Structures are given as structure tokens and as C-alpha cells.
Amino acid sequence: MARSLNKVTLIGNLGADPEIRSTTSGTRVATLSVATSRSWTGAGGDQQEKTEWHRVIAWDKLAEIVERYLKKGDRIYIEGRIEYRQWEGKDGQTRYTTEIRAREMIMLGGRDSRERTAVPRQAGGKPEGGDFADFSNESLMGEDDLPF
């Protein structure tokens, strides 16, 4: 069977504070609205700009990190995969959405200009597509030691 790849990389800014929910089983889920922009010079020499909005979903511990540290305007790096969903609305119409399922996140900039990373980990600390661990370097400092 031929190999395939579903990988999305975004660097952008949050357009709103993250929306945090819990499933009926208690699993945390965060929904982020991330804006990416590109600019170019048009045929007439005028400057053009286009902003794209991306719906990003983070689960479990990554959602907890999002809830704890992110707010509107923050610049972030997101790596994940694209997913398409459909469902039936209350009006009986079929609805469609495109989402980015976050696997890794890096907060860019910040008050002390340090980058903070959240990556998926399995037992033994190896990257995996399952549960998400706290920041990879957070174990070096206590919660009260964070500068923000």
C-alpha cells in the first residue's frame, strides 16, 4: 500500500480567546480560531493581503494547556492533521466543517520571549498520537516558577 501524509503546519494569531468544553466523559477540548495572512503585490502594483481563518481543535492535556496559557492575539505554531466532519443540524440540513486536529503547539513570543512547547508523549516520553503531556520543559520548573 502506498504511504500517505495528512500534516498541517500553521503559524498565526488567535482571533479570539479559546473556547473550552468538556465531553460527557470529562475529556477537555479546546477550539481555537487561528488567523494566517499573506500579502503580495497585485498586477497594478498595489499591495494585497488575504487572511485565512482556521478552526483548530486540541484535546486532553493539550486543551488544558491552551486553557491555561492562551488568549486572543497570542501568536502560536500549530502542527496537526486536517479533518472533515459532517453532521445533521437541528433544521435537518447536513452541515460540514473543516478542522485542524492539533498534535503539537508552540507558543511564540510571550512576555519573556521564550517559546513554550506542548507535544504528544507516550509512556517513556516518546512522541505519539495519543495523550498529550504538559510542556516538554515545564518539568524543569514548578508551576509557581513560571514568569507569566
* pTM to 2 decimal places: 0.71
Going by pLDDT thresholds of 50, 70 and 90, the confidence category of residue 143 is very low
pLDDT attached to residue 60 = 94
Neighbours of 121 (CB within 10 A): 17
Q: Where is pLDDT greater, at 57 or 137?
A: 57
Share of the chain above pLDDT 90, in %: 68
Q: Where is pLDDT greater, at 54 or 111?
A: 54
116 near 135, Cβ under 8 Å? yes
Q: What's the rounded mean pLDDT across residues 27-38?
A: 96
Pairing of strands 116-118, 47-59: unpaired
Burial 91-111 (b: 16+ CB within 10 A, else e): eeeeeeeebbbbbbbbbbeee
pLDDT attached to residue 132 = 38
Q: What CATH homologous superfamily does 8-39+47-137 map to?
A: Nucleic acid-binding proteins (2.40.50.140)
**Is the pLDDT confidence value at 131 over 70?**
no
Q: What's the rounded mean pLDDT across residues 104-122?
A: 64
Going by pLDDT thresholds of 50, 70 and 90, the confidence category of residue 117 is low
**Is the pLDDT confidence value at 142 over 90?**
no
Q: What's the rounded mean pLDDT across residues 10-31?
A: 96
**Is the pLDDT confidence value at 20 over 50?**
yes
